[in-house]
Structure 1
Amino acid sequence: MELRVLAVSECPHVALLDERLRLVAPDAPITHEVIDAPARAAAAGMYGSPTLLVDGIDPFAEPGQRPSVSCRLYPDGNGDFQGAPTIDQLRAALTKTLLTKTLLPPALRTVLATDRRLAPPPLRTAQQAILRAFATTGQPPDMPPEVLEALHEGDFIRLDDQRRIVAAYPFSGVPTRHQVALAGGVRVYAMCAIDALGMPPMLGVDATISSADPTDGQPITVEFRGGRTTWEPATAAVVVVVPTVDGPAADICCPLLDFFASRTAAQAWVDKNPGQPAVVLTAAQAERTGREIFQPLLTNDNTDGRP
């Protein structure tokens, strides 16, 4: 876990934050960066001094909060403010990050991670040809039946009863709630929110993701432009349900990886479904998850990773 403290020069509250961090995470290294200009604060993600980044994410950032080099005060939950999050607040934030890093990825790796999504060399060429066909035409290509069956058996694609491709992670062969408009005009569907977020880095192209909150239908849009992303609404988050049974990702995982209009709405869904272990990911965490899973699929054994 990377702990990074951003602060203006001689910020009086850095020592308090460091002291509390050492009590909560005594073995985690802490790095410091002095930020004295508004432009640098915006680039680094500092929302006042001091700001704590946990693996690059500010766990205490509020929706609509703007970067700043001014003094930052944290509500302590008792109607007062302090110069650093309380020990309990820090412990909760770090625990949530550890859940995201150490509980979620291993559980998802059984059905989603790259080492399960990338076919072995004998089948990889066919898998990548299918992905490129979806990216360039929006449709799967014709393939020998025995190749399709082998890819289906390994859960690299899914076939319906007529042996047609209905999923080639991250693409869906049938309409879903997650539509992705790729640069060049091709429109495709993603199996889930994480798959949608993985498409632009996998293909190396700009794209617009259009989805909706499953609880109230509120539209959610994610724009990928020139290596930067914009979420609308900016409060949107992603819920990832950890699989508790084995099976194809399309059946046990993809239907439960959704965009929500806010972290509050996402957490409310999690709270209402206690039988399904889940983690609420911030926009940055969800983007990173999608990128780490899918970016290697077309870069492995290819020169540039583009279709």
Structure 2
Amino acid sequence: MSLPTLNDGYAYAERIGPRGAGLSVLAYLAGRYEHSTQQEWQERLARGEVVLDGVTAQGSEILRTGQRLIWHRPPWPEDAVPLHFEVLYEDTELLAVCKPSGLPTIPAGGFLKHTLLTLVRERWPEASPLHRLGRGTSGLVLFSRTAQAGAALSRDWREGRVQKTYRALGQGVAAQDEYEITTPIGPVPHPQLGDVYAASPNGKPSHSTARVLERRSDCTLFDVDIHTGRPHQIRIHLASIGQPLVGDPLYGAGGLPLPHLPGLPGDGGYMLHAHRLGFVHPLSGQQMAVEAEPPGELNIG
């Protein structure tokens, strides 16, 4: 586990689109990035952190379509996370690694350097992740090392030709040996979070197959194949059949978010592991299967 460390800061750059035209810099920033108040943006502007077309912005400037706006975020301390991974497969086109629970896949949510992507690119600067895992999910992440491999596998991913199997520990003892779960997933309102993805009759079609591997005294070990790729799909789908993941801080029975959260939505502690990927190698055409050994709690027996 790493210690909290100060990163190098980051420049968030964007081009102003039609929706931003006519707004002041301050109004635009406060409206677009609601994680910060208007007062906080005013303080950043006063410190000279925001630049518009190469000139330090004051906040009152009226934006035009096509202008370039940059927020130079100063260095900030990143939380301690596990800073290691295991190489599962490597060739000239692909790289497969096993990520520990707690390590973000890509920069987001206050993490910039403490990510799997940063660690991988220290050894393979050309690597690009083909998918991502939630911070609390452990297991297999596949990277492309060439543009050709990335394009081919991204197409296969979109068209459902990549087989994805996860290992999950759900609360309660399953009544069936197998479940075909088709609960739609979409944004629903939450009193603390605004909107959050969950089971929703107005959501997008979603499909998972959950197979019982082992029944324990108060929980069930599953292998879950996901046939669609909705946000938090396995967490929502197992919760929707009454078996939310052990330790899940967000989803309860029925696949809906808990009304009063015991922690933050991104907190770990839930039992989910990306176990296996099946795909066609983009160069050789060979059928591939790569597996990441589950952690102890998610092993049979």
Q: Same fold (TM over 0.5)?
A: no
Hey, which of these two has a bigger chunk of helix by percent?
1
- Measured against the shorter chain, the TM-score band is under 0.3
Hey, which of these two has a bigger chunk of strand by percent?
2
